[in-house]
């Protein structure tokens, strides 16, 4: 009992110290982690997407679950249960150590349309012009420890100096009968529900076919509390959150007539209850994640992906009638939209079905190095099947490695080739 009392007093003293320290130190990654204020910030578009259905109805038609607590001792006064913040990330931190609460934090300088989120209920703005966005992820995700600096650094450092869309609870540090106005009642997004980052403005239609990278994170907050110091959890603690995103697709051609449903996932940590992606008409890419409840093996989702076709079809010269078991000449022109194609790395691969040997080969190597945006012309001889009939002729770019075939970009239009026996002509 005595040990418990001493432990509680030490925790209380440490909390009082932190509450009266204006700029507590934070851990730093191996490299720069903060940036000076940009000279100008691109104002967010006032066009608002209708996300109501995505918020209220996830993949399984389930709404957010959990108990709601409005505040805690020296905790948070909720200003709005769920808001959107758009701005530029200026820093990040992890609250570790013996007196830390294991929170991950992003510091965001809001766009002008979202600067109102800096103002607390007393009319006072945050002193540094940024909004701290905090969350405590589940203790473990798919066997990996999450309560450490390097876990935070892995997911938050790529967001540095990027424009992000943060969804979460808009709150402010509360006034406590013990500590008074904690941290000058600064406003926060606490906890974070989702963070979306794309290398384009998702609210403006793209003017080119260039693909872009994006990241999406979804959390179920996982805070635990001391019975004396923090008797109440943060708002929406351990909720099963629904988190959507919506962004434009690159345009492979001016009239947007070709299939644009392309994305490539580079990294995905799926400890959510469910997630779904969809291509909407005209020219939208959307996703919805249902986080699951923290510390039940769920409660965290992350993806890093490239949106849009990395290779575009330009033209092809293909006969529609050939003699059985004979060679015929083909010319296909493809454009690299994102990165350099190298001889021995990228190829044109047979499709319909993938890796079909119908035409005597499954791969046609890139004939020379192609620096994006650039074009490659594949001139090759194909051999017709021995048996007569109508066969599908279709190809797509591919990168082969020890991990398998990584298909990317647009398909060539399907050509139905009639194979004759005896000879057609």
Same domain, 201 and 348: no
pLDDT at 410: 83
Query: Closest Cα partner for 264 from 301, 308, 302?
Result: 308
Q: What is the CATH number of the domain that holds 319?
A: 2.60.40.10
Tokens 């990330």 belong to 89
Among 247, 274, 307, the domain-final residue is 307
Q: Do the domain assignments include residue 161?
A: yes
Q: Do the domain assignments include residue 202?
A: yes
Beta bridge partners of 91: 107
DSSP 185: G
Contacts of 98 (CB under 8 A, 6+ apart): 14
Same domain, 288 and 337: no
Q: Do the domain assignments include residue 6?
A: no
Q: Do the domain assignments include residue 390?
A: yes
Same domain, 230 and 379: no
- Full residue range of the structural domain in which residue 192 is found: 27-307
Contact 354, 392 (CB under 8 A): no
Contact 413, 313 (CB under 8 A): yes
pLDDT at 35: 30
Same domain, 298 and 321: no
Give the integer Cα–Cα distance in Å for 265 and 277. 12
Same domain, 247 and 336: no
Same domain, 248 and 349: no
Same domain, 167 and 269: yes
Q: Do the domain assignments include residue 160?
A: yes
Contacts of 135 (CB under 8 A, 6+ apart): 103, 104, 168, 190, 191, 192, 219, 221
Same domain, 289 and 407: no
pLDDT at 348: 96
- What the block records as the tokens of 414 is 């399907």
Tokens 């913040």 belong to 85
- Structural domain total, the chain: 2
- What the block records as the tokens of 41 is 């910030």
Same domain, 391 and 414: yes
What b/e string do you get for 327-350 counting C-beta neighbours within 10 Å, with b at 16 or more?
eeebebbbbbbbbebeeeebbbbb
Among 279, 307, 335, the domain-final residue is 307
Q: Do the domain assignments include residue 410?
A: yes
Per residue, what are the HEC states of 280-297? ECCCEEEEEEECCCECCC
pLDDT at 182: 56
pLDDT at 387: 94
Contact 190, 117 (CB under 8 A): no
What b/e string do you get for 138-158 counting C-beta neighbours within 10 Å, with b at 16 or more?
bebbeeeebbebebbbebbbe
Among 307, 325, 350, the domain-final residue is 307
Residue pLDDT tens, the chain, 425 long: 333 333 333 333 333 322 332 222 222 223 223 333 222 222 222 223 333 333 333 333 333 333 333 334 456 677 788 899 999 999 999 987 666 678 899 999 999 999 999 998 888 899 899 999 999 999 999 888 898 899 999 999 999 999 999 999 998 876 554 554 555 678 899 899 999 999 888 767 665 667 889 999 999 998 876 554 455 566 778 889 999 998 887 765 444 444 445 777 889 999 999 999 887 756 788 899 999 999 888 999 999 998 877 788 899 999 999 999 999 999 999 988 777 899 988 999 999 999 999 999 999 999 999 998 889 999 999 999 999 999 999 999 998 888 788 888 888 999 999 999 887 76
Same domain, 183 and 288: yes
3-state secondary structure (DSSP) of residue 52:
helix
Same domain, 273 and 358: no
pLDDT at 425: 67
- For residue 55, give the H/E element and its range: helix 52-56
pLDDT at 98: 64
Q: Do the domain assignments include residue 19?
A: no
CA distances from 21 to 14, 75, 316 (A): 11, 16, 68
pLDDT at 269: 95
Give the integer Cα–Cα distance in Å for 403 and 125. 52
Strand segments, DSSP code E, in 137-234 are: 140-141, 144-145, 163-173, 175-176, 180-181, 187-198, 212-219
Region of 224 on the Ramachandran plot (φ > 0 left; ψ -120 to 50 alpha; else beta): beta
Same domain, 248 and 328: no
Q: Do the domain assignments include residue 18?
A: no
Residue 70 phi, psi (nearest 5): -75, -30
């Amino acid at each position: 009992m005595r040990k418990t009392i001493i432990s509680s007093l030490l925790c209380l003293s440490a909390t009082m110290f932190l509450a009266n320290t204006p700029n507590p130190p934070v851990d730093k990654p191996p490299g720069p982690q903060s940036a000076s204020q940009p000279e100008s910030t691109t104002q967010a578009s006032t066009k608002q997407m209708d996300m109501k259905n995505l918020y209220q109805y996830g993949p399984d038609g389930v709404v957010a679950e959990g108990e709601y607590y409005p505040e805690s001792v020296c905790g948070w006064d909720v200003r709005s249960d769920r808001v959107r913040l758009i701005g530029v990330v200026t820093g990040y931190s992890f609250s570790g150590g013996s007196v830390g609460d294991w929170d991950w934090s992003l510091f965001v300088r809001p766009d002008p349309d979202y600067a109102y989120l800096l103002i607390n209920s007393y009319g006072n703005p945050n002193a540094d012009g940024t909004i701290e966005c905090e969350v405590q992820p589940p203790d473990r995700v798919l066997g990996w420890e999450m309560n450490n600096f390097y876990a935070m650094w892995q997911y938050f450092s790529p967001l540095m100096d990027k424009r992000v869309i943060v969804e979460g609870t808009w709150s402010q540090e509360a006034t406590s009968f013990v500590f008074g106005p904690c941290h000058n009642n600064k406003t926060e997004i606490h906890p974070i529900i989702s963070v979306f980052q794309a290398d384009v403005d998702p609210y403006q239609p793209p003017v080119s076919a260039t693909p872009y990278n994006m990241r999406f994170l979804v959390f179920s907050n996982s805070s635990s509390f001391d019975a004396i110091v923090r008797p109440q959890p943060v708002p929406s603690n351990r909720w099963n959150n629904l988190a959507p995103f919506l962004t434009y697709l690159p345009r492979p051609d001016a009239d947007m007539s070709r299939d644009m449903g392309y994305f490539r996932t580079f990294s995905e940590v799926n400890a959510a209850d469910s997630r779904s992606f969809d291509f909407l008409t005209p020219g939208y890419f959307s996703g919805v994640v249902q986080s699951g409840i923290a510390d039940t093996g769920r409660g965290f989702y992350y993806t890093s992906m490239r949106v849009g076709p990395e290779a575009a079809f330009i033209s092809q010269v293909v006969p529609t009638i050939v003699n059985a078991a004979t060679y015929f000449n083909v010319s296909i022109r493809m454009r690299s939209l994102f990165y350099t194609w190298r001889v021995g790395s990228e190829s044109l691969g047979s499709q319909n079905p993938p890796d079909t040997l119908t035409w005597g080969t499954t791969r046609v190597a890139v004939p020379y190095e192609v620096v994006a945006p650039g074009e490659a012309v594949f001139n090759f001889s194909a051999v017709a099947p021995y048996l007569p009939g109508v066969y599908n002729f279709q190809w797509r770019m591919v990168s082969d490695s020890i991990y398998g075939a990584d298909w990317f970009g647009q398909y060539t239009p399907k050509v139905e080739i009639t194979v004759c026996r005896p000879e057609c002509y």
